[in-house]
Chains A and B, each alone.
Chain A
Amino acid sequence: MRILQGIAVSPGVAIGEAVVIDNQGYRIPHRFISRSAIDTELERLAKAFVSVGRQIENSRDEISEELGEQYGAIFSAHLQMLRDPKIESDIVHLIKQRHYSAEYSVSQVLSKYIKVFENLSNVYMRERANDVRDIERRLINTLLGNRREALSNLETPVVILAHNLTPSETANLDREKVLGFVTEVGGPGGHTAIVAEALEIPAVVGTGQFLSDVTVGDLIIIDGDQGRVIVQPDDETILRYQHEVEEHRSLATRLEALSGLPAETTDKQHIALYANIEFPHEAEACVRRGAEGIGLYRTEFLYLGQDEEPSEEDHYRVYSQVVKDMEGAPVVIRTLDLGADKLLGENPEDPEQNPFLGLRSIRLSLRNIPLFRTQLRAILRASVLGEIHVMFPLVSTLQELRQAKMLLSDIMEDLEEEGVPFDRGIKIGMMVEVPSSVIMLEQFAKEVDFISIGTNDLVQYTLAVDRSNKEVAGLYNNSDPAVLRLIEMSISKATAAGIKVTLCGQMGGNPIYAMLLIGLGLRSLSITPSAIPEVKKVCRSVSIAQCEEIASRVREMENAREIKQFLREELRKVVPELLL
């Protein structure tokens, strides 16, 4: 058993066999094959032996010619090992008797020899492990060949272990087959993490290197709540986690009973719960979970993993689908929120030194007017199909907001001239996620209909912490008093100006913050759909007065840790079952 600590990015527990994806994104094949595949597998193995024999002969001839016979002789020994009848018969045995794949059988048999050699007392002999390793590598490379199995071809449910997954790879994961995933790199709030949450599969990122110690087919537990990955857990651990999975399931069932009930406090104050979504198909889950609308529809997936820029029709198609699925409930569409480095076709000669402070989001859109125009036209056209609001991300100055609004009115004029219908009174909002926008919120509030506090970026920019940098990720705290003060300022300024305020960062979906946020005056949250039942449970268990009391206690606290601890305790008092 081995326990690794990473960063929890998508909650839940997954228990399953490992599929390992190497650095190049190739899948290392599965451990087991079906009975009917044995003959094919034996044939593949025999071919690989022939081919590797030829490769070794070539190496021997080349080296002999270049350096002399005695140097080539080592390859004769390799050849002899390869042709050692015992090796092949051991491998064949595993394929036939245990139904292991050829790759897995090769690695099992040769690893055994490598271990024997490594344990020899004679140093010179010990080095023979490398010769065996060389043969193993040749055989496996040959077997793998060009058979690059895509993630979408999984046959049985598994957990995915990879060095890295791109957002589009993550987005294409088969939810039926992928129980959870772990990546060696990455941080919270990265796009991969957001997609994992949207897919509702447990995920841990940023574990550091560990793939070389995992064998395909090893049992893995992913603890997406604690950010833990357990390789080859012992029976006790498995039982404990199975129990936890059961608890979660029964909690989920109990919470499901709330889906028809309103999110209101014990003193009948309504708390609006909206959903954050990434993909159009999630709209259905939002309705099922009782979301009052979509508070954040991220549109980046349209731009990621595509070979060309999405057309106006591409945008229109998905927007209209979502708005129809939501059956008249409001849908807040956020315009492109990506860094230049992530945008297709943009492969800058000199990459930005500091992309989070660089050309991204609204800045990028304003630099690429045709691209921005395409998206805004589609949003406006879809606005007649239901209630659509448009929201601009990462606004840091009034000029940016004004430019974006000006473009929007330009497009409205165009549409009017073309006789294309749209909602003239479309609500316009902005994300509040840069400290400058909080400070200047009185001014901004005069020019927007609503704001949504984006805590992920607000935390990063307030505390100057790159959340994907493992060295400083520990400084990234939703509960930092400075962050909480900015959130409270945003809520009170927006409320004073009479505009609607929502919070849409990951923080909102964590039940421990719900009471505090309500206590700070927030009455609307947009969260990941899977978190709606839990947060609703919290809302229905407390009064506004209780929440305000919690908020006033927190105002006196000095550090993030203390605050988080306190909030956990308060939650435990009210709904202990949410702190499994």
Chain B
Amino acid sequence: MSESQSTRTVIIQNKQGLHLRPADLLARLAYQFESNIEVENDGLSVNAKSVIDLATLGAGPGTELKLSATGTDAEKAVEAIAELIINFTDEDEEAVDTTESESSS
């Protein structure tokens, strides 16, 4: 299979943005691909397979993220990740908040 490159821009829809749990999902998904995947927010670009780096983007709702991948499965990776970002939800938003503040106090 040959190396290819793929990019796509996607806007974060959920209210909390790319916080830890969405970042976790994203990194896990990214991990399933062979390609090197980068996520860029306002000039700052990080490795999509690193949850902590993703979280440091501080990408809130409405942020435009630029996805770019290089590798054998670049196109598939970008599509899958874009899909995931668009479908981020906040259904258990409050519940998560409570637990987090408890676990960190």
Contacts and interface: CB of A to CB of B under 8 A. Distances in A.
B30 to A, nearest CB: 11
Nearest to A122: B60
Nearest to B105: A130
Interface in B23-52: 23-24, 27-28, 47, 49-52
Interface stretch (A70-78, A179-187, A535-543): A70-78
B53 interface: yes
Interface string B55-87: 110101000000000000000000000000000
Contacts, number: 88
A73 B52 contact: no
A134 B103 contact: yes
Q: How large is the interface on A (under 10, 10 to 19, 20 to 34, 35 or more residues)?
A: 20 to 34
A80 B95 contact: no
Contacts of A73: 21, 92, 96
Nearest to A137: B104
A248 interface: no
Given A70-B96, A74-B100, A125 B50 contact: no
Nearest to B61: A122
B51 A125 contact: no
B50 A74 contact: no
B100 A125 contact: no
Contact of A116 (B21, B47, B56): B56
A84 interface: yes
B6 interface: no
Contact of B51 (A67, A77, A117): A77
A376 B98 CA distance: 66
A218 interface: no
Interface string A92-129: 00000000000000000000010011001110110110
A74 B49 contact: no
A86 interface: yes
B16 interface: yes
B96 A128 contact: no
Contacts of A133: 104
Contacts of A84: 27, 50-53
Interface in A448-501: none
Contacts of A125: 17, 19, 55, 58, 60
Given A67-B99, A74-B103, A86 B19 contact: no
A367 B25 CA distance: 72
Nearest to A63: B99
Given A67-B99, A74-B96, A134-B103, A124 B17 contact: yes
What are the 9 tightest A-B residue pairs by CB atom distance, in nearest-first order?
Answer: A130-B104, A120-B58, A86-B50, A70-B92, A71-B99, A80-B24, A77-B24, A77-B20, A122-B60
18 contacts: A70-B92, A70-B95, A71-B99, A73-B21, A73-B92, A81-B20, A81-B55, A85-B49, A85-B50, A87-B52, A117-B56, A120-B58, A124-B60, A127-B101, A128-B19, A130-B100, A130-B104, A133-B104
Interface of B: 16-17, 19-21, 23-24, 27-28, 47, 49-53, 55-56, 58, 60, 92, 95-96, 98-101, 103-104
